[in-house]
Amino acid sequence: MYGCQCPKRLWLHKYRPDLRDEMDEEQEAVFQRGTDVGKLAEQLFPGGVDARPETPFAYQQSVADTARYIAEGRDIIYEAAFQYEGLLCVVDILVKQGNQWDAYEVKSTSKVKGQHIPDAAFQYYVITQAGLELADFSIVHLNTKYVRFGDLNVQELFTAESVLDRILSMQEFIHEKGIALKTVVANKKQMPEVEVGDHCYRPYNCDFLGFCYERIHDDAEEDYGEPYINEDAVRSFLSQLEYPIYHIDFESWRAVVPEYDGHWPFRQVCFQYSVHVERAPGAEPEHHAYLAEGTHSNSLEFIENLLSVLGKEGTVMVYNQTFEATRLKEYMREHPQYAEDIENLLGRMVDLMALFRKDYRLPEMQGSYSIKYVLPALVPELSYNELTIGNGTDASNAFYHLQYTRNPYDIERTRAALLEYCKLDTLAMVKMLGVLRRING
């Protein structure tokens, strides 16, 4: 799959892994979640034998063990490995039903994605060329309609979808690509020359981006164009605002596998909010904050606490309306007793980001309308750079990992950093709105 994305990535992976970008915490978490889901899915077919190697470099033993397990008549094999003419594959679950073998590849996603098909096609090619006929090949993914109550129901948590027809049509492509990529890795001395481009980010960000961009880096600053401010659009935006103005921001974490009753796969669980309230023009903004105690956020507590702050009238200001609105609609379904109150909030909601997406651009924003770029462009004295927690991903990971933190000092330090970060998000909106008002005169 590396080679399909870019032959240079494959070559670097094999011969210069030392040049790989440092993996951030979020990427590590993604890989760990994938591993955890794969192990959990084995419970769909319990009682199997594990062909995993002791180390990632011992797959020859894994190939031999898989062959031995098949010869011994084992019906369920986890992490079954096969090799054919220099091509190696490992399939998550191999199951014998009667006299036929079915293969299952587990993905920690909510559906079968495009990039899963060539991956499965490669596995099918190697397994069948190595001599084992497959009656079917399925992708196992998470079922987002499953809602947990009580013990985790693995049979309902996962969905298996056959992709056999789609991978059979790719077998010739896999054969030819295998020959081409073996030629790439056969040449240890010569790295393929491939220009950077869209392929660097599809289907995933390449882990050698830093190396490739450093080779073409020059000192010329990118030209982000002239300032563009649509003053009529600014005035129109400001005219719809009604006091009091509630600037709100949520922070959330999500687990691939639901951990609590009422949760479903990938559910965003809000654990924190910040609200800055402007009661009247020129009034000093009031700040309200909520951060769940412990390591679990109770959705009823969150929404009741939020509603007590936001009142019944006045503009509810957000930055990226899709996120907060989606979370509120989820709370509406979960707690129908508050449906009317939440509907009221949704009707009062105004998205500040929409203005910076279309009608207000400065070179200092570097072509982005993210609040992390817009804030320092408009209000240079404020920035996220000095914060211990400086973005939503770090906030999510920090709160989630509190459950594994035992030192009280570390817990308090993390909680303080979370409060400081979320507070800046809504203070930023107050300050940015102030800049817009000056345009309006």
Q: Which CATH number fits the domain that encloses residue 424?
A: 3.30.420.10
Collapsed DSSP state (helix, strand, coil) of residue 99: coil
Nearest Cα to 370, choosing from 323, 408, 328, 434?
323
Is 362 found in the same domain as 338? yes
Is 409 found in the same domain as 359? yes
**pLDDT score recorded for residue 355:** 95
Beta bridge partners of residue 287, listed in sequence order:
276
Nearest Cα to 229, choosing from 359, 354, 357, 358?
359
Is 386 found in the same domain as 316? yes
Collapsed DSSP state (helix, strand, coil) of residue 184: helix
Flag whether pLDDT at 196 surpasses 60: yes
CB 287 within 8 A of CB 423: yes
The overall average pLDDT reported for the chain is 92
> How many folded domains does the chain comprise?
2
**pLDDT score recorded for residue 26:** 56
Neighbour-count burial of 133, counting CB atoms closer than 10 A to its CB (0-12 exposed, 13-18 middle, 19+ buried): exposed
Query: Which of 69-78, 300-309, 364-373 has the lowest average pLDDT?
Result: 364-373
In the predicted model, what is the mean pLDDT of residues 391-407? 89
**pLDDT score recorded for residue 219:** 39
**pLDDT score recorded for residue 158:** 98
pLDDT above 90 as % of the chain: 80
Is 397 found in the same domain as 256? yes
Is 242 found in the same domain as 150? no
Is 202 found in the same domain as 286? no
Within-domain flag for 222: no
Q: What is the pTM of this model?
A: 0.82
DSSP string of 137-167, one letter each residue: EEEEEE-TT----SS--HHHHEEEEE-HHHH
CB 231 within 8 A of CB 45: no
In 143-285, beta strands by DSSP E? 158-162, 228-229, 245-254, 268-278
Is 325 found in the same domain as 211? no
**pLDDT score recorded for residue 393:** 87
* Chosen domain end from 216, 237, 257: 216
> 25 vs 133, which has greater pLDDT?
133
Question: Which residues make Cβ contacts (< 8 Å) with residue 230, sequence separation at least 6?
Answer: 358, 359, 360
| Residue ranges making up the domain that contains 304 | 228-440
Is 43 found in the same domain as 182? yes
pLDDT confidence of 294, banded at 50, 70, 90? confident
**pLDDT score recorded for residue 240:** 96
Within-domain flag for 221: no
Is 48 found in the same domain as 16? yes
Is 312 found in the same domain as 211? no
Q: What is the DSSP letter of 21?
A: P
Q: What is the CATH number of the domain that holds 97?
A: 3.90.320
Locus of tokens 């594990």: 50
* Chosen domain end from 163, 195, 216: 216
Locus of tokens 């563009």: 228
Is 207 found in the same domain as 110? yes
Query: Which of 163-167, 191-195, 228-232, 292-296 has the lowest average pLDDT?
Result: 292-296
Flag whether pLDDT at 440 surpasses 70: no
* Chosen domain end from 216, 250, 266: 216
Q: Is the peptide bond before 376 cis (omega within 30 degrees of 0)?
A: no
Q: What residue type is assigned to position 399 of the chain?
A: F
Within-domain flag for 223: no
**pLDDT score recorded for residue 221:** 47
Within-domain flag for 108: yes
Within-domain flag for 412: yes
Flag whether pLDDT at 75 surpasses 70: yes
CB 375 within 8 A of CB 431: yes
Q: Which two tokens stand for residue 171?
A: 């077998």
Is 362 found in the same domain as 310? yes
**pLDDT score recorded for residue 232:** 95
In the predicted model, what is the mean pLDDT of residues 175-194? 95
**pLDDT score recorded for residue 216:** 65
Nearest Cα to 66, choosing from 43, 93, 100?
93
Collapsed DSSP state (helix, strand, coil) of residue 366: coil
Question: Which residues make Cβ contacts (< 8 Å) with residue 122, sequence separation at least 6?
Answer: 1, 87, 89, 174, 178
Flag whether pLDDT at 305 surpasses 80: yes
- Determine the Cα angle at 340 with ends 339 and 344, to 5°: 115
pLDDT per residue over 136-145, tens digit each? 999 999 999 9
Q: Is the peptide bond before 244 cis (omega within 30 degrees of 0)?
A: yes
- What is the C-alpha to C-alpha distance for residues 193 and 186, in angstroms, rounded to an integer? 15
Locus of tokens 């400065």: 362
Flag whether pLDDT at 220 surpasses 60: no
